[in-house]
Every structure is written in C-alpha cells, then in structure tokens.
C-alpha cells in the first residue's frame, strides 16, 4: 500500500483527503505545518507521495517544495501541490520549482486519483 503524506493546515481538508485517499487504497500521514514535515524527511522517513498545500502559516508550501527539491535524496518523491489558487502563474511556479502535479481545491475524487497516477508515473 502506498504511503501519502498530506501537508495542510486545514483540519477539515485533512479529514476529507484522508477519506478520499483511503477510498483509493492509500495509507496516509498528516502534517499541519512545514516544520514537522521537514523534520520527518531529515530523520530519514520517506513517503511514496506528498500532497502539499501552498497557503500555510509560517512557511508556504512552495518553500517546502523548494526545500525538498534542493536535496537530491528526495528527487524520486512525487510532490503534488494543493491549493485554492488556480492562477496560471501559481501553477507554473509550482511546476518550475519541481512539483509533479497540481490540484485545486475543492478536490474531487476522480481528479485526485488522476493527478496522483500522473505524478507517480512522472517521478519514476
């Protein structure tokens, strides 16, 4: 079973994503802030995929993405951005920084499934 980390400061979103990912047969782990996510990676833990919200307090998801992509050790971890922002400039910036996919909120189950499949194929 694939392990997906969800990084989002919105508790309702975490619950919704957990339910959808379980329906898609994924195992989940939640992080409400960037720091514990970075600490888990630095401790040697690695998920199969990271779903990463862009708009979070203290450290943005784009900053977390940059941190992940600066370390070659994590190059093979697909990162799919989550955001309410659908502006091309935001999507383009995320892709330029190394995101493997982008999903706008509210998230639909079929879109989530498709984006995760694409992201995992791109990373391999």
124 residues of the chain, pLDDT tens digit each: 899 999 999 999 999 999 999 999 999 999 999 999 999 999 999 999 999 999 999 999 999 999 999 999 999 999 999 999 888 899 999 999 999 999 999 999 999 999 999 998 876 6
* 53 within 8 A of 7, measured Cβ to Cβ: yes
Q: Under a CB-based contact definition with an 8 Å cutoff, are residues 102 and 83 in contact?
A: yes
30 near 14, Cβ under 8 Å? yes
Q: Assign residue 8 the CATH number of its domain.
A: 3.40.50.2300
Closest alpha carbon to 29 in 44, 10, 8, 43: 8
Domain that holds residue 110: 3-123
DSSP three-state, residue 48 = coil
**Strand-pair partners of 104:** 83
Q: What pTM, to 2 d.p., does this model score?
A: 0.94
What is the number of structural domains in the chain?
1
């Amino acid at each position: 079973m694939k392990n997906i980390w969800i990084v989002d400061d919105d508790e309702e979103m975490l619950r919704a994503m957990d339910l959808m990912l379980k329906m898609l047969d994924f195992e989940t782990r939640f992080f409400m802030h960037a720091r514990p996510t970075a600490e888990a990676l630095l401790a040697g833990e690695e998920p199969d995929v990271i779903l990463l919200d862009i708009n979070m307090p203290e450290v943005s998801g784009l900053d977390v993405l940059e941190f992940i992509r600066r370390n070659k050790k994590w190059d093979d971890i697909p990162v799919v951005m989550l955001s309410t922002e659908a502006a091309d400039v935001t999507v383009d910036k995320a892709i330029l920084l190394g995101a493997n996919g982008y999903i706008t909120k509210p998230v639909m189950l079929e879109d989530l499934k498709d984006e995760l499949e694409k992201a995992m194929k791109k990373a391999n």
